[in-house]
Amino acid sequence: MATALRNLSEYDKNFIPNGADFKIGIVVSEWNDQITFNLLKGAKEALIENGVKEEHIHVEFVPGAFELPLGAQFLAEFVKPDGIITIGCVIQGETKHFDFVCDGATQGIKEVALNYNLPVSFCLLTDNTLQQSIDRSGGKHGNKGVECAIACLKMIGLKKKLQKK
């Protein structure tokens, strides 16, 4: 595992765009909520720490990871945020269901980003064990929700910079 020896959630605030004028949508899977709610907490804290107003953070919940793309599409169409963070957790089981859910969610999230020309951060944990998910949702490897919030802010900043040219 590439992250085995480090916490990847640390970042230099000097390189993050101020989000004071950004509107962020977050879609969260209710499946594995002990993990996804920690990811949501990390994402919201990172957004607020970097200037996003709490009233500009729009959170919606979907049943599972497979529903994340459609939830993100609904946010893109009806909320019209500057960026979206998709949060989910799929843990390997004994069947191929894991592969289908992960692939469908991944491809769907990518399609929303490209079809709407919108930064959509991918915070879908696809771990082999519950412990790996715990470690990546506020445990020894940090909080992937923080990382995805920062990625979303950076991509919004990039889009706004390029639109001005």
Residue 159 identity (one-letter amino acid): K
Q: Is 141 a catalytic residue?
A: no
C-alpha pair distances (Å), 78 with each of 2, 65, 71, 74, 75: 38, 20, 11, 6, 5
The 3-state DSSP class for residue 162 equals helix
In order, the DSSP letters of 91-146 are: E--SSTHHHHHHHHHHHHHHHHHHHHT--EEEEEEEESSHHHHHHHEEETTEEHHH
The one-letter amino acid code at 127 reads: D
Identify any residues that bridge with 86 across adjacent strands, giving them in sequence order.
Answer: 27, 122
Taking each continuous run of H as one helix and of E as one strand, the counts in the chain are 5, 6
Catalytic residue among 56, 58, 97, 141: 97
What are 122's two structure tokens? Answer: 């991918």
Query: What is the set of active-site residues?
Result: 97
